[in-house]
Structure 1
Amino acid sequence: MYFLKPGIKKYPEKRWHLPDRIFFSFGACHILAGVFLKKFSDKGFYALRILPKAGFYGNHIFVTDGIVAFDFHGYSLKNQLIAHFRKGWSARYPGWDAHIEVVDFPLLDTDSLNQRKMLGPNQYLFNPIKRAEQFLNRFDHEHLIAKVLKKAC
């Protein structure tokens, strides 16, 4: 897990120049998830959102097919990703807890995202959709999904 220095997200230049994994872990996870779902619309994936209880940080969106999950880490088992996320945030913030819900709004629509206090694609310094596409192109998706499923057995 990554934790940013305070204030970085307020500066578009600093945010944009973060390494990809950090960029997509802190404030652009919804963009990565939206681009993934668009690119792999035929693979049975959907988006889940981790919503921390009131007063806590730690909102996160990732995609899953119910078993395998994908986010800035790459591929993992869904339950392991959730456990890792819970462990990291609760270790940093005692009392941290969250619930998980299916995303029922468009992940690349600025108005829908702004209503939920997230930036839309046109509100970043440059094009985060293109950046997410380039990030996704680094992965051998079929091989990595098979590798994760092998762990599940």
Structure 2
Amino acid sequence: MIRHVAAGFFRRTDAERRDQELAWNRSDQAFFAAGACHILAWTFLETYPDAGFHLVDLRKVGEKDAFHVVASNGTDAFDHAGWTSLDELVRMSEEFEGVPIETLPVTEDSLHSYCQSHWCRPPEGYWSDPIPRAQAYLKQFPAAGSTAVLR
């Protein structure tokens, strides 16, 4: 069972930011918590397109850029550690960051436009293709883990 902790716990080191292979070789949870959360969230939406989920940015209040991206239906949330409530995810993030956190819906219609708008690495910017890795990782978390009915 994967432990649910704030994404900030897994922030990349300066060396991992400079070296994509080093960043790639982190555990799946660390990789999808910090550095590829947007890839996992978009992969979730593509896997469950009719489940009523959307992307949500978690930001420190007053900050322009998100520090974490999750899939949520407004109640349930999915991220690097699997299922939790969106409220609990925000609470854990506030405790870790030590500041208030706000959630904002993502309005971009594609992963590439999101990456351009939010200074995120697009899939082709990783050491290897992160989409198959995200698809495999997602399979570890059955849809039954959510209180929402995913079909």
In the alignment, the residues of structure 2 paired with residue 81 and residue 124 of structure 1 have an alpha-carbon distance, to the nearest angstrom, of 26
Letter in 1 for 2:125: Q
Q: Is the 8 A contact 2:83 2:146 kept in 1?
A: yes
Is 1:30 paired with 2:38?
A: yes
Shift of 1:53: 4.5
Letter in 1 for 2:19: Y
In the other structure, the counterpart of 1:117 is 119
User: Counterparts in 2 of 1:57-72, with a 5 A limit?
Assistant: 59-72=67-80
Q: Is the 8 A contact 1:58 1:89 kept in 2?
A: no
**Secondary structure at the residue paired with 2:108?**
coil
1:96-128 deviation line (CA, Å, top 9, x unaligned):
33322100114521x541331100011101011
In the alignment, the residues of structure 2 paired with residue 120 and residue 76 of structure 1 have an alpha-carbon distance, to the nearest angstrom, of 26
In the alignment, the residues of structure 1 paired with residue 69 and residue 39 of structure 2 have an alpha-carbon distance, to the nearest angstrom, of 9
Identity of paired residues, percent?
24
37 and 58 in structure 1: CA distance in 2 versus 1, 3 angstrom threshold = closer
In the other structure, the counterpart of 2:4 is none
- Please provide the CA RMSD for this pair: 2.3
**Which has the greater radius of gyration?**
1
Is 1:100 paired with 2:103?
A: yes
Letter in 2 for 1:22: A
101 and 58 in structure 1: CA distance in 2 versus 1, 3 angstrom threshold = closer
112 and 78 in structure 1: CA distance in 2 versus 1, 3 angstrom threshold = closer
117 and 104 in structure 1: CA distance in 2 versus 1, 3 angstrom threshold = same
Is 1:46 paired with 2:54?
A: yes
In the other structure, the counterpart of 1:10 is 18
Note the residue ranges of structure 2 that are not aligned, 5 or more in a row: 1-8
In the other structure, the counterpart of 1:137 is 139
In the other structure, the counterpart of 1:93 is none
| Bigger mean CA deviation after superposition, 54-63 or 97-106 | 54-63
80 and 53 in structure 1: CA distance in 2 versus 1, 3 angstrom threshold = closer
Q: TM-score, normalised by structure 2?
A: 0.83
Q: Is the 8 A contact 1:31 1:107 kept in 2?
A: no
